[in-house]
Structure 1
Amino acid sequence: MKKILIAGMALVLAACVAKPTMYYWGDYSATLYQYKAEPSEETLAQHYVSIQDVFNKSQEYGLRVPPGVNAEYATLLLKQGKKADALVYFEKEKATYPESALLMDRMIQMVGAK
């Protein structure tokens, strides 16, 4: 009986550790809040790391990148003057979430015009 109980507990705990079913957010919200609350190179660097983690884990788990993350990353790249890279991420957002096409097309057009 004790072995069955232990096996059952292990199964329940394993279910809690399972991969996310829809999106992987990681520390994204916390680092974004921290960056907005205390803008600095350090908090921005932490947010970049969390975005990269979202990209990596989403790919690892076979999930789509959460809505808006590609577009936000594109905006951050644009602020660094990396227009070509920003365009790639605006296109990724548009491809992943077709409902964002109107906004992403406008962003792409604005970046291309600069």
Structure 2
Amino acid sequence: MRHIFLLMSGLISLSLVGCATAPKSLYSWGEFPQQTYLSLSLPEKAMPQDQVLKLEKDVEKAKAKNLAVPPGLYAHLGLQYLNMNDAPRAIQYFELERQIYPESTVLMDRLLKKMTGQTSAGAKK
């Protein structure tokens, strides 16, 4: 009788674990993973204009919900603007990525230096 009780308790516990909800994500990912995959796997189908529209819409949705934009999204937007020959807008997004995610400073500084000769105030040369 005791074994049956233990077995039933175990099964009930396992079934309740399956009812737990998934943890809330730190970031509002939106279309970013799909667009990144598309640009890397099928670049001929990843039109920069389409990516910019989708990702900027995702940024607006994240801001409206007061959620964070994932790391790399602003850098990806900057790259897409660079592909569209809009260097000033690309620079804005690279600087925004560096500002929001300081761990990207080295990469963003290298990109900015290559584009403009500009570095951040705290970066070493």
| Same fold, TM-score > 0.5, yes or no | yes
Q: Which amino acid aligns with 1:39?
A: P
Preserved contact between residue 71 and residue 97 of structure 2 (Cα < 8 Å): yes
Matched residue, 1:12: none
Letter in 1 for 2:96: K
Offset at residue 47 of structure 1 (A): 2.6
Q: Number of residues paired by the alignment?
A: 95
1:60 paired with 2:64, answer: yes
Alignment partner of 1:104: what SS? helix
Distance 1:63 1:107, change over 3 A: same
**Root mean square deviation of aligned Cα:** 2.2
- Amino acid aligned to 1:91: E
Identity value in percent: 27
Structure 1 gap segments, 5+ residues each: 1-14
Is 1:47 the counterpart of 2:38? The answer is no
Could you tell me how far apart the structure 1 residues matched to 2:43 and 2:25 are?
A: 32
Task: State the TM-score, normalized to the length of structure 1.
Answer: 0.69
SS in 2 for 1:26: coil
Change (3 A) 1:58 1:78: same
Equivalence for 2:95 = 91
Partner of 1:9: none
- Find the residue that maps to 2:58 and give its secondary structure: helix
Structure 2 stretches of 5 or more lacking a match? 1-20, 118-125
TM-score of the aligned structures, taking structure 2 as reference length: 0.63
Query: Structure 1 segments of 4 or more deviating over 6 A?
Result: none
Whether contact under 8 Å (1:77, 1:85) holds in the other structure is yes
**Hey, which of these two has a bigger chunk of helix by percent?**
1
